[in-house]
Amino acid sequence: MEYRLLGQTGLEVSVIGLGCNNFGGMIESLDLEGARKVVHAALDAGITLFDTSDSYGTDGGSEKALGEILGPRRHDIVLATKFASPLNPEKSSRFNASRAYIMKAVEDSLRRLKTTYIDLYQYHFPDPMTPMEETLRALDDLVRQGKVRYIGCSNFSAWQIIDADWISRHYGLHRFQTIQAEYSLLSRQAATELFPAMRRIGMTLLPYFPLASGLLTGKYRKGKPIPQGTRMSLPYFKPGLNEANLERVEKLIAFAEARGHTILELAIGWLLSQPIVTSVLIGATKPEQVQANVRSMGWRLTAEEMAELEKI
């Protein structure tokens, strides 16, 4: 395993992180035993970053599963979770980052995760109603209280991270160190405006959907039946298997194979060849997937290869 620093902190994390949104009954509903196998495969492979959210699974199901499975091994890893997304959208659909909401949300997450501290507490989606200063002051208090070690954000635009960073610096508050954004060979928009803003303030990226929900593993091929029991066979995800994406996947497979690699090695290697990326967050439904993903992390692309990929 290889490790990189998180944002401008002294905290090292594995370059492959385990995404835990499959745990606890939401997207692909892994039961506790299924989640246990995946978590243990990750620990055995040297993965130290585990990413979840209070909103993953039913009633905090992903956090509960992680708390249950990790036990004392919690202290061997870097635990990242998120707040602000509605837990029960039928009751309230508000994205909430008010002080009152955060103070309760953090206690609930700590209880579910069976821990006294969260390593990286991330603001999941921007709440347009709460002033950024209020959120940052509440988060700063949590860091000072020792309940949270570092803070990050997710799904923010370029202007929002610059605004937040200015407020933190102006008032001497802890700053967001990382951002989560969708970023993969099939979804590269973040590079246009977000990356220059991140470089300006020293934030690093935790890319999500790095395998485009499995499209970049090579198991979905043009003209071939969709493998059953996979994420892309679910109605919500199926539109991603469109002509344009499948064409691009075929071109990416050809690019990788011409250089003696797989598309999985290309998908992960392309991300890790960019210094702005700290750790690639990958979800898994089986331990073998975790092992395959870790085995596929070694390719560092040349500048020429990166430039060629711009055209695909």
Q: How far is the CB of 124 from ligand NAP (least distance, A)?
A: 6
CA-CA distances (angstroms) from residue 157 to 169, 186, 197, 230?
19, 19, 9, 31
Q: How far is the CB of 53 from ligand NAP (least distance, A)?
A: 7
* Of 166-174, 204-212, 246-254, 297-305: span binding ligand NAP (CB under 6 A): 204-212
**What gap in Å lies between CA 254 and CA 248, rounded to an integer?**
10
Residues 37 to 96 in contact with ligand NAP, rule: CB under 6 A: 51
Residue 227 tokens read as 């493998």
Question: Is residue 214 within the footprint of ligand NAP (CB under 6 A)?
Answer: yes
Question: Is residue 245 within the footprint of ligand NAP (CB under 6 A)?
Answer: no
Q: Supply φ then ψ for residue 179, to 5 degrees.
A: -135, 145
Question: Is residue 165 within the footprint of ligand NAP (CB under 6 A)?
Answer: no
**What gap in Å lies between CA 183 and CA 180, rounded to an integer?**
9
Catalytic residue among 3, 56, 117, 208: 56
Residue 211 tokens read as 């395998």
Residue 197 tokens read as 């803003």
Kindly tell me which residue out of 208, 255, 270, 299 binds ligand NAP, with binding defined by CB under 6 A: 208
**Which stretches within the chain are classed as H helix?**
32-44, 61-70, 99-113, 132-144, 158-171, 190-201, 243-258, 263-272, 287-295, 303-309
Question: Is residue 219 within the footprint of ligand NAP (CB under 6 A)?
Answer: yes
Residue 56 annotated as catalytic: yes
Bridge partners, 205 (sequence order): 179, 277
Mask for 267-286, x = binds ligand NAP (CB under 6 A): --------------xxxxx-
Residue 82 tokens read as 């998120």
Between 84 and 173, CB nearer to ligand NAP: 84
Between 141 and 187, CB nearer to ligand NAP: 187
Q: How far is the CB of 19 from ligand NAP (least distance, A)?
A: 2
Residue 97 tokens read as 């980052």
What residues line the site for ligand NAP (CB under 6 A)?
A: 19-22, 28, 51, 154-155, 180, 208-214, 217, 219, 230-231, 264, 281-285, 289, 292-293
Which positions are catalytic? 56
